Amino acid sequence: REIRCCSRDEAICLNVTFHQFIILDAVANKKGLDLADLHKILSVEKSTTTRLVNPLLQKGLLKRDKAEHDSRAAKLTLTEEGMETHRKVWMCLAGFFKNITRNIPEDRQEDVLKAVKVFTAAMRKAAVDCRCCE
């Protein structure tokens, strides 16, 4: 139950799921993103990326245009509402992580954060090395 907040299908804030936030964040960080680049970031099939992006387009949070370099390719950008939603969800997540930190004894916070960094680096490496799903 405690890790449900990071479930990809569970809304975390403003009716945005964690996976949708990852998409909004990637598009925001790049000030626009080609759909093909988003496939790589998400590490999912093209059809899955399209399925994940469509609700954000329907909600008016993303805009889909033709890419400048190739009229067959799509480029995603945040709408004004998308920028505001991205900002608000970031604030929501920042509050959530601040709450987590408050619940870790102060004298152990630095060690816990170091351990989390080591763990996420190990997960990242394992994911790159993993060939089980090919």
- What CATH number is given to the structural domain containing 77? 1.10.10.10
Instruction: Tell me, yes or no, whether 98 and 128 share the same domain.
Output: no
The model's pTM: 0.79
Q: Determine the pLDDT at residue 128.
A: 73
What are the distances in angstroms from CA 25 to CA 20, 61, 80, 115, 126?
9, 12, 14, 25, 24
- Is the Cβ–Cβ distance between 38 and 23 less than 8 Å? yes
Say yes or no: 90 and 133 in one domain. no
Most confident of 3-12, 64-73, 99-108, 120-129: 99-108
- CA 45 to chain CA centroid, nearest Å: 16
**How many domains are there within the chain?**
2
DSSP state of 66: E
Q: Which domain holds residue 118?
A: 105-134
On the question of pLDDT at 71 being above 90, the answer is no
Using the Cα atoms of residue 53, residue 55, residue 58 and residue 60 in order, give the sign of their dihedral.
negative
- Are 63 and 93 within one domain? yes
Residues in a beta bridge with 74: 66
pLDDT in tens, 42-68: 888 888 899 999 999 999 999 999 877
- The alpha carbon of 3 is separated from its chain's Cα centroid by a whole number of angstroms, namely 16
3-state secondary structure (DSSP) of residue 15: coil
* Residue range 2-31, pLDDT digits in tens: 455 565 677 788 999 988 999 999 999 999
Tokens of 5: 């907040």
Give the model's pLDDT for residue 4. Answer: 53
pLDDT given for residue 133 in this prediction: 55
